Amino acid sequence: MAHTNPSDAELTRLLTDATTIAVVGASSNADKASYGIMQKLQRAGYRVIPVNPRETEILGERSYPSLIDIPERIDIVDVFRRAEDTPGIADEAVTIGAKALWLQSDIVSEDAAARAKAGGLIVVMDACIGATHSLLRVAPKTKKA
């Protein structure tokens, strides 16, 4: 059975409840979509952690080689990688106990979706997290005192 993305209400709840987002395939190149989305998510108040073994720091955040290497809890794993790379990323997202696997626009993998769902994750495919955040008018995070 083909994957269906969650409803707008479910996406709003996911984005409202999340505090930490890992961006797999993040880039320090300001011309790349992952850079712009990471910046947008930071400005919306999320803790955003880049995942890229070829980067050391992006937008002031330490970059990690894989999800497994991140020493804190991740709510959403946002993926900017080719579809064929996503099943392994889905497995890592399950291993670390993420709440959701989000495959960016034009990234579709039924295999990755099935693995993530089997591990209890919410799955979003072929959708930009930044555009979805704006379209659903999710309120910015407020900093806790």
DSSP secondary structure, 16-57, as one string: HH--EEEEET--S-TTSHHHHHHHHHHHTT-EEEEE-TT-SE
Query: What DSSP state is assigned to residue 15?
Result: H
First and final CA of the chain: distance in angstroms? 46
- State pTM to two decimals: 0.95
Please give the structure tokens belonging to residue 105. 């626009």
Residue whose tokens read 């959708």: 127
CA–CA distance from 66 to each of 4, 15, 18, 55 (Å)?
Answer: 27, 22, 20, 11
Specify whether the CB–CB gap between 99 and 117 falls below 8 A. Answer: no
User: What pLDDT, on the 0 to 100 scale, is given for residue 143?
Assistant: 58
pLDDT of 145 higher than 50: no
Element (H, E) at 124: strand 122-124
- Longest Cα separation, the chain: 46
Cα separation, 9 vs 114, in Å, equals 22
**Interval 65-100: pLDDT, tens:** 999 999 999 999 999 999 999 999 999 999 999 999
Higher pLDDT, 144 or 86: 86
**Interval 112-122: pLDDT, tens:** 999 999 999 99
